[in-house]
Chain A
Amino acid sequence: MDIKNMKNYLYWLFCQFELITCSYLMEPWEKVLFYTFNITMLFMVLYTAYIYVPIHISTAFQFSRILCSKHETTYLVVIWTF
């Protein structure tokens, strides 16, 4: 029951997406192009996030620690290595 509701809800969300982006009006091959583009973009964003976010977080963490201890030189080194 819940799963069916969920499926309906997802389908409804997808319809809204189609209506807002006007892919509802597109021909099949245009849809393929549009979705390929969108999915590629989404994938790339996620992948970038996966690669860089941990590094960013760890540098931010270090940075805050360095800031507390006020070691200007290491601070610069951190920036450059990143």
Chain B
Amino acid sequence: MERPGRAAAVAGAQPRANGCSGAGHGTLRNGYVRRFPAPDTQVDHIVHNGGLYKRPFNEAFEETPMLVAVLTYVGYGVLTLFGYLRDFMRQWKIEKCQNATEREEQKDFVPLYQDFENFYTRNLYMRIRDSWNRPICSVPGAKVDMMERVSHDYNWTFTYTGRVIKDIINMGSYNYLGFAQNTGTCQEAAAKVLSQYGAGVCSSRQEMGNLDKHEELEKLVARFLGVESAMAYGMGFATNSMNIPALVGKGCLILSDELNHASLVLGARLSGATIRIFKHNNMQSLEKLLKDAIVHGQPRTRRPWKKILILVEGIYSMEGSIVRLPEVIALKKKYKSYLYLDEAHSIGALGPSGRGVVDYFGLNPEDVDIMMGTFTKSFGAAGGYIGGKKELIDYLRTYSHSAVYATSMSPPVVEQIITSVKCIMGEDGTIVGKARVQQLAENTRYFRRRLKEMGFIIYGNEDSPVVPLMLYMPAKIGAFGREMLKRNIGVVVVGFPATPIIESRARFCLSAAHTKEMLDRALKEIDEVGDLLQLKYSRHRLVPLLDRPFDETTYEETED
């Protein structure tokens, strides 16, 4: 709950966007802080790791209003009933069956298309499918062109009309720093490298695919992150899913946040380690699991765990929340475990110099054992990296599957990353990069503040450039996507299974490339659509993340 006194105190301290000014020591709203730093005391960063935030950490999630939740269930109820009706008609051949079905000769095998997710896809998702997977036909910068398409059979198939919808304001790309461009220094450098090196080497790094460009990139990334050494991979997803198994195995314990990305989940499962899940960003839950792990050791044998690895993300892309890194690091040190931080969304997008959450909280990069991130988002390229101690990276170079088997990165892509990282670091001799980081932080604050004022329910941290706007009802998912496209704004809507079934949302991703006019136009249209669809659910009652009700069933153990 937000008390006016506190809010006034925060406003008084004037915390600046994304910590771009040094003087932002406001008060904190969450009950976690044990000591308050006196304003304008420059505390040494090592001291901060004792669960102490250097900057205000305002992260709040508004409860779902009861009425909205009930109406959402009513909507799903109606759709489910009609779904059963349609399934019945398909079964009895009253209606043409267009979805995948069991083959005649496999009738007696385990059914493939009868679980809930298939039912959902067939009968609910199909009705609103036109809001997803829209093909675009230009560079996805601040504005984007989309191909117009129509469906004559209620979204089972689409045909293109041949027309292009021009200049849609792009609120959906993870283009945080606006490096998705087809002009400018990055593009020129990449084009030059393309003509010099060609498009790819068709060999893995361990064989003949190792180019000087790759080595240059790794050195640069290590310098950017402030770690000893780094390694780059061609795909962010594979970086997670193939390196976690190289780091932990049987007899190890993985503590994973419940909302971690699929790549982390896959990596954890492939590793064969025991996985325990803590509640989203909830440090009490994490500490309890750590304590239990130390006290009880492995199940049955009661031997101590070989390693304990904590998996967290920098910014959670569905909730827009930022990890409580100072506390995670404090816990990690207290219980002598390892920390794997996935900075896919936060690298470039957070921190006064764009170096991710570690920079945002003013911590020491060496406190994070494994710094992982992707080049797909802020840098407008593709691939992933891992940074850390030299021994760790040397080990991964020899043992990680994605180092051994994957072909090396394409040189023009590498060049795009190099130029964009240099731009952010200011090594190209300009302040363009710094200005972009600052612009993104300002856009974020502005956009979030305006949406909150309009009365929408917005999730997440006020500094996170991922802004989820809650829609809840299934019909509103489709309606929101369509209405916004009608008004020339491209948005991403998210529903089950990416979110809990009643918490459907639209997710805006801000970019440094958005100008104030674009944001104002987008906000005006969102306001209009919000009134039209009655999306302004907010009653301005915020609950800090800790007090959110969670399921009791998240403590699942996978023991073999």
Interface, chain A (partner B; CB < 8 A):
15-16, 18-27, 30, 34
17 CB contacts below 8 A, A to B, read: A16-B534, A18-B475, A19-B473, A19-B476, A19-B534, A20-B71, A20-B75, A20-B475, A22-B76, A22-B473, A22-B474, A22-B475, A23-B475, A25-B474, A25-B475, A25-B478, A34-B82
- The proximity string for B residues 532-552 relative to A, scoring 1 for CB distances below 8 Å and 0 otherwise, is 111000000000000000000
Tell me, yes or no, whether B127 is within 8 Å of chain A by CB. Answer: yes
- Measured between beta carbons, the chain A residues less than 8 angstroms from B78 are 21-23, 34
Whole-angstrom CA separation of A25 from B476 in the bound complex: 9
Q: How far, in Å, is A8 (CB) from chain B's closest CB?
A: 12
Q: How many residues of B contact A (CB 8 A)?
A: 19
User: Is there a chain A Cβ closer than 8 Å to B294's Cβ?
Assistant: no
Instruction: Pick the residue among B154, B474, B479, B534 that contacts A27 (CB under 8 A).
Output: B154
Please encode chain B, from 64 to 99, with 1 for each CB lying within 8 Å of some chain A CB and 0 for all others.
Answer: 000000010011101100100000000000000000
Q: Find chain B residues with CB under 8 A from A19 CB.
A: 473, 475-476, 479, 533-534
Find the B residue at minimum CB distance from A18.
B475
Q: Are A24 and B74 in contact (CB under 8 A)?
A: no
Q: How far is the CB of A15 from chain B (nearest CB, A)?
A: 8
B75 touches A21 (CB 8 A): yes
B128 at the interface (CB under 8 A from A): yes
Check if A30 sits within 8 Å of B473, measured CB to CB.
no
Which residue of chain B has the shortest Cβ distance to A28 in the bound complex?
Answer: B154
Q: With a CB–CB cut-off of 8 A, which chain A residues contact B476?
A: 19
Contacts of A22 in B (CB 8 A): 75-76, 78-79, 473-475
Q: Write out, one digit per residue, whether chain B residues 486-512 have a CB within 8 A of any chain A CB (1) or not (0).
A: 000000000000000000000000000
Which residues of B have CB within 8 Å of A16? 534
Min distance, Cβ B196 to any Cβ of chain A, angstroms: 53
- Minimum CB distance partner of B80 in chain A: A22
User: Do A25 and B128 touch across chains, with their CB atoms under 8 A apart?
Assistant: yes
Residue of B78, B473, B532 ringed by the most chain A CB atoms within 10 A: B78
Q: Which of A20, A27, A30, A34 has the most CB of B within 10 A?
A: A20
Decide yes or no: A30 and B82 within 8 Å by CB, A22-B474, A25-B127, A25-B128 being known contacts.
yes
CB-defined contacts of B475 to chain A, threshold 8 Å = 18-25
B202 to chain A, nearest CB (A): 47
Nearest CB of A to B236, in Å: 34
Docked Cα-Cα span, A21 to B79, in Å, equals 8
**Which residues of A sit under 8 angstroms from B534, Cβ to Cβ?**
16, 19
* Bound: A43/B128 CA distance, A: 32
Q: Chain B residues near A27: list those with CB within 8 A.
A: 154
Taking the closest CB of chain B, its distance from the CB of A20, in whole angstroms, is 5
Q: Shortest CB–CB separation between residue B528 and chain A, in angstroms?
A: 13
Complex interface: chain A residues within 8 A of B75 (CB)? 20-22
The chain A residue sitting closest to B478, CB to CB, is: A25
> Of all chain B residues, which has the CB nearest A25?
B127
Known: A15-B532, A23-B78, A30-B82. 8 other contacts (CB 8 A): A19-B476, A19-B533, A19-B534, A21-B78, A24-B475, A25-B127, A25-B474, A27-B154
The answer to whether B473 and A20 touch across the interface, beta carbons within 8 angstroms, is yes
Distance between Cα atoms of A26 and B475 in the complex (Å): 10
Q: Which residue of B lies closest to A16 (CB)?
A: B534
Provide the bound-state CA to CA distance between A25 and B154, in Å: 10
- Chain A residues whose CB sits within 8 angstroms of the CB of B127 once the complex forms: 25-26
Name the residue among A25, A30, A34 with the largest chain B CB count within 10 angstroms.
A25
Q: Are A25 and B79 touching (Cβ within 8 A)?
A: yes
Residues of A contacting B74 in the complex (Cβ-Cβ under 8 angstroms): 20-21
Q: Among the interface residues A18, A22, A30, which one has the most CB atoms of the partner chain B within 10 A?
A: A22
For the complex, what is the distance from the CA of A77 to the CA of B234, rounded to whole Å?
A: 88
Residues of A within 8 Å of B473, CB to CB, are 19-20, 22
- Select from chain B the residue with minimum beta-carbon distance to A27: B154
User: What separation, in Å, do the CA atoms of A26 and B82 have in the docked complex?
Assistant: 9
Complex: A69 Cα to B479 Cα, angstroms: 62
Smallest CB gap from B535: residue in A: A19
CB-based contact A24/B154 at 8 Å: no
Residues of chain B within 8 A of A20, CB atoms compared: 71, 74-75, 473, 475
Residues from chain B with a CB closer than 8 A to the CB of A21 are 74-75, 78, 475
The residue among A21, A24, A30 with the most chain B CB atoms within 10 A of its own CB is: A24
How far, in whole Å, are A26 and B126 apart by their CA atoms in the complex?
Answer: 11
- Give a binary string over B447-491; 1 marks a CB under 8 Å from any A CB, 0 the rest: 000000000000000000000000001111011000000000000
Q: How far is the CA of A20 from the CA of B533 in the complex (A)?
A: 10
- Docked Cα-Cα span, A15 to B479, in Å, equals 11
User: CB-nearest residue of chain B relative to A30?
Assistant: B82
Closest B residue by C-beta to A15 = B532
A25-B479 Cα distance, complex, nearest whole Å: 9
Residues of B within 8 A of A30 (CB): 82
Q: Which residues of B contact A23 (CB under 8 A)?
A: 78, 475
In the complex, the chain B residue whose C-beta lies closest to that of A12 is: B532
Q: How far is the CA of A16 from the CA of B67 in the complex (A)?
A: 14
Q: Across the A-B interface, give the 8 residue pairs with the lowest CB-CB distance, nearest first.
A: A25-B127, A24-B475, A22-B75, A22-B475, A19-B475, A22-B79, A20-B71, A22-B78
